[in-house]
Structure 1
Amino acid sequence: MTVPKSILMPLSSSGQEKERMLGALSVAAYFSAHLEVLHATLNPRRFIPDEVVARRMPQSLLQELEALASKYSVTESSELQQLFQSLCDQNHAPLTEQLIHDAPTACWQEIVGLRSELVGERGKVHDLIIVPQPKSGTPTSTFEAAIMRSGKPVLLMPRTLTTFCADRVLIAWNGSTESARAVASALPVLKAAKQIVVGCSNRSSAREPGIDKLIQYLARHGVEAIGKHFDSHRLAAGESLLQLSDSIGSDLIVMGAYTHRRVHEQIFGGVTRHMVGHATIPIWMMH
């Protein structure tokens, strides 16, 4: 329930790097938080089976591959880091590890390793993880590691969104444990919002605790909210939720992630997968 003060964002060279950096810096400015950008690279040896390395591949060729990969990685990292430093300067976010009260700060971390594993581990010592919406429209291993392993909320950001605003917030409520965790973690955002709508599908309206109890809980935290039920009988719940979000002009959606069993999500889709593929605004998620 504390205001996020330590934010982690994994960064890869998969396009829209500048926009993604600006979006993350905007989130850091919103919370006056420290932003750590994690740029992870892989050693090519990781992709070569051990038995191939041991028996078939000449060491000279392996060393040449590693040297080429290292040269490319250093060049790419240097260019991205320079761009990040420039954007930090423009947005008054000093590059420092030191704490500056009531002001955003940032740092760049260059690490060799698998991005998803690093995010799952390092996310545990941050308050919030920013993950870009995947190009493929399906959850990535980095997104799933952040959601399932970090124990912290994840902010799914559209790749081209450069500013963060949370004046109008939609809470997607179905009475699940995951939804409850998402709401609790988002309380600092909810307290600062100008309008909050709690949305619940007709399919979930009978589940307890219902909308009224959530609204009462929020009121005890000084947060005023109104409830809206939406019909998801004709459309998928995710599609209906996005329609409600559009109709009220929300800037942010707060919701639980993977509230059904993973097998059910993979076979039948699910709200989480739909939001990852189709949302056009940031989604605050927690498992």
Structure 2
Amino acid sequence: MAYRRILLPLTSTAAGEAALTTALMVARIWNAHLHCLHVRVDARDVAPLAGEGLSGAMIEEMMAATERESGERAARVRALFERFAHTHGDVALAESAEAARKHEGPTLSFASIAGREEDIVAQQSRLYDLAVVPHPEADEDVSSSDALHAVLFDSGRPVLIAPRTAPASIGTRVCVAWNGTAESAAAVAAALPWLHRAEKVRILYADEYQRRGPSAEGIQAYLRWHEIEAEAVLFKPQTREVGAGLLGAARDFGADLLVMGAYSHSRLRQLILGGVTRHVLENADLPVQMCR
């Protein structure tokens, strides 16, 4: 079991360096291919504004500005990728499985296409084992991360959120956040390659986090069938915040990867009331692999 094909959507250069470094770390571990994808805004999406009472000249001007800004952003992202690839000269560029097999070690590729980011990322992610996404900027509402939610809700694939600063290691000490839900079960199944490889695995659970479903002892027994030994540890919410308690427990363990299900409640409820997923996305300083 291994991750052989990894997708990294790069919307901009913000947080891109840390995401590239994190994604390449993952690719090195699994001897995988890392494909970086930039989705440019399609200027034709501005055309429907004609129904908003704007003149043809105004719409053409907006389309030209959109095309110009999109092209400049794409050029910056491409330059970031090329600098990164040059810095890691031991990693070969490859566009196909046949080309990648000619090289030992991980390989890289890059593409820039026009369209709606959430649609293209969701569809393309279905052809990869894992998607790595940059951490949302500190001043950006996590709910606006189109690539992240596209993978979580529409790809059927796990997503690894890179921390703001690239980690020193990943996947050696793994925490599994368990609450008995289908989402947490899917996250564990998707993370089995990591769990097999890890030096130490800890299951984190709490009464306040548990939903209807199997207990921590149940997932512990499941992992034993996969020859994975994991200790189950109760964590306590901090100031009634389950997400803070979960991150604190992962930090106490020295974890370099947190595995968890995403949005056990509806996304709308989490956006309005907060929630464990939202807190972790906004505050985690370690790689987090999520599945829904």
> Is TM (by shorter chain) over 0.5?
yes
| Contact persistence 2:167–2:286 (CA under 8 A) | no
| Contact persistence 1:171–1:255 (CA under 8 A) | yes
Give the alignment partner of residue 110 of structure 1, picking from 93, 103, 112.
112
* Structure 2: stretches of 5+ with no match in the other structure: none
Residue 24 of structure 2 corresponds to which residue in structure 1?
25
Q: Compute the displacement of 1:200 (Å).
A: 0.3
Q: 1:234 to 1:65 in 2, by over 3 A?
A: closer
1:126-149 Cα shifts (integer Å, max 9, x gaps): 111111121125232221111000
Residue 44 of structure 1 corresponds to which residue in structure 2?
43
1:60-94 Cα shifts (integer Å, max 9, x gaps): x6555545544554444344324323422433221
Q: 1:210 to 1:84 in 2, by over 3 A?
A: same
The 5 Å alignment of 1:77-96 reads: 77-91=74-88, 92-96=90-94
Q: Give distance in 2, aligned partners of 1:164 and 1:148.
A: 28
Residue 257 of structure 1 corresponds to which residue in structure 2?
262
Q: Equivalent residue of 1:255, what SS?
A: strand
Give the alignment partner of residue 167 of structure 1, picking from 165, 172, 185.
172
The 5 Å alignment of 1:184-195 reads: 184-195=189-200
Q: Give distance in 2, aligned partners of 1:21 and 1:259.
A: 29
Deviates more, 1:25-34 or 1:65-74: 65-74
Q: Give distance in 1, aligned partners of 2:279 and 2:200.
A: 24
Instruction: Give me the identity figure in percent.
Output: 32
| Contact persistence 1:256–1:286 (CA under 8 A) | yes
| Contact persistence 1:30–1:164 (CA under 8 A) | no
The 5 Å alignment of 1:169-208 reads: 169-204=174-209, 207-208=212-213
Q: Give distance in 2, aligned partners of 1:53 and 1:43.
A: 19
| Contact persistence 1:25–1:88 (CA under 8 A) | no
Q: Compute the displacement of 1:247 (Å).
A: 1.1
Deviates more, 1:160-169 or 1:220-229: 160-169
Q: 1:133 to 1:206 in 2, by over 3 A?
A: closer
Q: Equivalent residue of 2:112, what SS?
A: strand
Q: Equivalent residue of 2:34, what SS?
A: strand
Residue 151 of structure 1 corresponds to which residue in structure 2?
156
Provide TM-score, normalisation by structure 1: 0.89
The 5 Å alignment of 1:239-258 reads: 239-258=244-263
Q: Give distance in 2, aligned partners of 1:253 and 1:14.
A: 25
Q: Compute the displacement of 1:16 (Å).
A: 3.1
4+ long deviations beyond 6 Å: none
| Contact persistence 1:115–1:142 (CA under 8 A) | yes
Residue 132 of structure 2 corresponds to which residue in structure 1?
130
Q: Give distance in 2, aligned partners of 1:189 and 1:52.
A: 51
1:203-222 Cα shifts (integer Å, max 9, x gaps): 34585411112111112212
Q: Equivalent residue of 2:100, what SS?
A: coil
Deviates more, 1:256-265 or 1:174-183: 256-265
Q: Give distance in 2, aligned partners of 1:203 and 1:15.
A: 35
| Contact persistence 1:166–1:251 (CA under 8 A) | yes
Q: Equivalent residue of 1:15, what SS?
A: coil
Letter matched to residue 43 of structure 1: D
- How many residues of Structure 1 are paired with residues of Structure 2 in the alignment? 284
Residue 100 of structure 2 corresponds to which residue in structure 1?
99
1:160-207 Cα shifts (integer Å, max 9, x gaps): 326551111110000111100100110000111111110001234585
Deviates more, 1:75-84 or 1:187-196: 75-84
Q: Give distance in 1, aligned partners of 2:168 and 2:282.
A: 20
Q: Give distance in 2, aligned partners of 1:141 and 1:174.
A: 26
